[in-house]
Amino acid sequence: MDKTEILRWLRETKESRLEDLWLRADAVRKEKVGDAVHLRGLIEISSYCVRQCGYCGLRAGNASLERYRMSEEEIMQCVADAVEFGYGTVVMQAGEDYGIKTEWLANIVRRIKAQTPLAVTLSMGERPVEDLVAWREAGANRYLLRFETSNPVLYEKIHPSLPKQTYNRFDLLKKLRELGYEVGSGVMIGIPGQSYEDLAHDIELFRTLDLDMIGVGPYIAHPATPLGQETIDLTNGNQVPNTELMVYKVLAITRLVCPEANIPSTTALATINKTEGRELGLCRGANIVMPNLTPSQYRRLYEIYPAKACIDETSRQCRGCLWGRIESIGRQVGSGQGGRRRS
Ligand code: 5AD
Ligand code: FES
């Protein structure tokens, strides 16, 4: 699929044709990654952040947010939950928090790898290469770092760089690959100022970068952020809308462009359609769900965007419900780590 075709699908409005796109994406998903839905337990280990991303509620400038950093024992308790619930992976995510010391996290990774069969994914922001090396040596398997948008002007606007920073996200993604991580990236859909051309180029980059994991979700305005104050100008025909439909289009096209990638049906998608967003995502290209294992007292503080949807996997009722939802669409919960397959 070339850029012209990607653009045509992004602008497609006819329902019967879109129905076709969903079916194609679902067929490719089934053929390339199968019917298993792999569960990755998300542990939001710290809400501190030194960055000033214009869209993100955790930005350092948001003084109204109470911050937390989990203790090693709290994290290990969540890890034990992941094992008990039968997940294959834990994802530890945080703001870019240098209070998370390199060796402290390396030690936790070593403990998880020594004591459990889990794959370990990290999502710690743009840390120095030495940290990425240390965590990889400790046994971390995967790293998530979305590039958010491939338009450099828009990126710099929404994601101001730190004073002495000499690398960019694409350099880091390359570095992560060299270090032997499975690499995940992705973008937000409908950022104010994001054009169809930008988004089509993002999707082409997913292919060029040969990503193992691709996370895409709608941009959701957070009132305590600069970008959250801007209105999205939908009268401008170039602006990508941050709608549910646009997310499905991007999910489906992404599956066609990167047939073997692991693609989550994201929390942001579930947030804008709490009744069936997650399931529809799974039927239009996605094959991963990331239930939240963060202890409840911290969960409400990890407010990247407002009203974040959540499967509370620590509650027995919710867990049954997730299993039921996956089976209701003719799929099964996957076993094992569910890493990248290559044919
Ligand atoms: N709306 C939607 N997604 C967001 N993220 C951060 N802020 C927002 C927002 N306001 C996404 C970014 C980041 C991921 C962890 O969460 O893409 O990489
Ligand atoms: Fe740092 Fe979002 S600005 S996590």
> What is the number of other CB atoms lying within 10 angstroms of the CB of residue 300?
11
For position 336, what pLDDT does the model report?
Answer: 87
Cβ burial, residue 45 (10 Å; 0-12/13-18/19+): buried
Residue 88, both tokens? 């294959």
Buried b (16+ CB within 10 A) or exposed e, 199-234: bbbbbbbbeebebbbbbbbbbbbbebbebbeeebee
In the predicted structure, residue 343 carries a pLDDT above the cut 80: no
CA 247 to ligand 2 centroid distance, Å = 22
Three-state DSSP state, 16: helix
216 lines ligand 1 (CB under 6 A): no
How far is the centre of ligand 1, averaged over its atoms, from the C-alpha of 86 (Å)? 27
Tokens of 96: 């870019």
Mean pLDDT on 238-259: 97
Is pLDDT of 71 > 60? yes
pLDDT value of position 332: 94
Which ligand has an atom closest to residue 169 CA? Answer: 1
* pLDDT value of residue 161: 85
Q: What is the pLDDT of residue 317?
A: 61
71 Cα–ligand 1 center, Å: 24
Q: Is the dihedral of CA 10, 13, 15, 17 positive or negative?
A: negative
Question: In this model, does residue 340 exceed pLDDT 90?
Answer: no
- Which candidate, 204, 189, 184, places its Cα nearest to that of 250? 189
What does the chain come to in residues? 343
15-33 vs 244-257: helix crossing angle, rounded to 10: 40
Higher pLDDT, 319 or 254: 254
Whole-structure pTM value: 0.95
Q: Report the atom number in ligand 2 closest to the C-alpha of 58.
A: 2
Contact, 46 vs 127, CB < 8 A?
A: no
Atom of ligand 2 at shortest range from CA of 57: 2
Token pair, residue 253, equals 């096209």
What number does the ligand 1 atom closest to the CA of 188 have? 17
- Ligand 2: centre distance to CA 45 (Å): 13
Summarize pLDDT for 250-276 with one digit per residue, the tens: 999 999 999 999 999 999 999 999 889
Per the prediction, the chain carries an average pLDDT of: 94
DSSP string, 284-313: TT--EE--B-S-HHHHTT--SSTT----BT
Q: What is the pLDDT of residues 270-315, one digit of tens each?
A: 999 988 999 999 999 999 999 999 999 999 999 999 887 766 555 6
Number of H helices, E strands in the chain: 13, 8
CA distance 320 to 342: 32
Q: Which of 114-118, 180-184, 296-300 has the lowest mean pLDDT?
A: 296-300
Any ligand 2 atom below 6 A from CB of 51: yes
Q: Per the structure block, which two tokens stand in for 317?
A: 């009722």
Confidence of residue 227 (pLDDT cuts 50, 70, 90): very high
**What domains are there in the chain, each with its CATH number?**
35-242+287-327 (3.20.20.70)
SS3 248: helix
Cβ–Cβ under 8 Å, residues 291 and 39: yes
The answer on pLDDT for 231 being more than 90 is no
Pairing of strands 89-94, 36-46: parallel
- Alpha carbon of 293 to ligand 1 centroid (Å): 18
- Tokens 């890493």 locate to 339
Nearest protein Cα to ligand 1, atom 8? 56
Sequence-distant (≥ 6) Cβ neighbours of residue 10 within 8 angstroms = 196, 199, 200, 240, 246, 249, 250, 253
Ligand 1 atom 7, closest CA? 56
- Of the chain, the percentage scoring pLDDT greater than 90 comes to 86
User: In this predicted structure, what is the pLDDT of residue 314?
Assistant: 57
Poorest-pLDDT segment among 128-132, 156-160, 203-207 = 156-160
In whole angstroms, how far apart are CA 200 and each of 173, 187, 204, 285, 341? 20, 11, 6, 17, 25
Amino acid letter, 246: M
**Per-residue pLDDT for 202 more than 90?**
yes
Tell me if 229 sits within 8 A of 241, measured CB to CB.
Answer: no
Q: What are the residues whose beta carbons fall under 8 Å from the beta carbon of 300, sequence distance 6 or more? A: none
